[in-house]
Structure formats: structure tokens, C-alpha cells
Amino acid sequence: MAKLKVGILISGRGSNMAALIKAAQAADYPAEIACIVSNKADAAGLEIAADAGIPTATVSHRSYPDRESFDRDVSAALGKHGVELVVMAGFMRIFSPWFPQHWAGRLINIHPSLLPSFRGVHVQQQALDAGVRISGCTVHFVIPDLDAGPIIAQAAVPVLAGDTADTLTARILRQEHRLYPQVVRWIGEGRVGASGNGGKVAVEGVPPGATLLFSDEP
């Protein structure tokens, strides 16, 4: 069976991108990284991708008069490599409605909170300010509404006494690196689809509880 062609969007260091590249190196992984696209030419992740022999492209948002024209060129860069699934990995741009509508059901993101709680930015500080005892990350399909698409899977971590936004961020990031490759594997295996229950997502052959990973840290 042909492997799913994945395009990854980054803006910075690309740590989740690196985790996906590593996962895709396994012979039994059902997806391959077809290209990396960044909106910043100096994104550190581009060098990591190039070192791995993966095609890269830069589409600078500063060169466009509006979001949709930028989005269309990002889409064209992905299309050149036959991308079937777009994976956002620290891509710090808000799309026009056109992009998630064009890639509907083929565009995913990882967000560093347990959605629907703490959308937007500075989410670890939001969690600390709210006094929650558990935080984590969420992989979801992207829709025009920010951080609001159907949830595919989540990973949970404890919020510890004395945590700062930086320490909580680091604990969540370690779980992101576990969760994202797992979700892309499920999609590559054709196991992710709508459950028929209010737009919720089902993963074939995976009990609902198994789509929630818990940190093995204390």
C-alpha cells in the first residue's frame, strides 16, 4: 500500500516536525514526509528537514496583501509534492477560511492544552492562572474557527506545585512528541473518521479511552 504523503507547516524550530520525521523513518510507518513549508526563511526546522533530505519551501506571509492569497500559495507549495494530509507543527499563522475549507478533513493541528479549554496563545499560563490540576495537548482537525475543530486524540500531564509556564510547556511538549506521530499513523492506516455522533471523531479499532494518553511522569 502506498504511504500517505504528509506536508508539514512550521514557523520555528519544528520539534514536532522532527518527531514526525523520526517516526516516518520506520519501515512500517504508513506515512511519509513529502515536504516542509515555512512562512519564515530563518525557521530552524528547515535545516533539520534539509538534513533529512526532505524538500522544503518558504512562503513569506509578508509578501502578500491578504491572508487568502498567502494561503493559496502555501496550498500550491503543498500540492507540488502531492500532499494528502497537512500537519501544522508550530505554524504561527491564522488561516483565512479558504485554507481549512479547501483542506477539510485533511488538515490537523496540535494545540498545547486540553481543548476546548484554553484556546489561543499563552495557554500554559492560562492553565496555571485557572488553577487546573491537569493539562496536556490536543490533536484536532482544523476548521475556520480557531482551535475549535473535532478532537482526534489528547495527552494529559499533571500540573505540579511550583510549575511555571516554561516547565509546564516542556512537560506537555514531551507528550506532543508521542501523540502527534501516533495520530498520523492512525490517519495513514485509514482508521480516523467521523463517529456519526455530533461531528465527533472515531478511531477504528481503538477504544475511545486509548485516544487519551497519560504522562508516565510523576
Residues annotated catalytic, as ranges: 111
Identify the CA nearest to 212 among candidates 190, 179, 180: 179
C-alpha cell at 187: 490517519
- The single residue listed with the C-alpha cell 518558504 is 58
**Which residue(s) pair with 109 in the sheet?**
88, 140
Residue 206, C-beta contacts closer than 8 angstroms, at least 6 positions apart = 186, 191
Residue length of the chain: 218
CB 48 within 8 A of CB 56: no
**Which residue(s) pair with 138 in the sheet?**
111, 154
10 Å CB burial of residue 156 (0-12, 13-18, 19+) is: middle
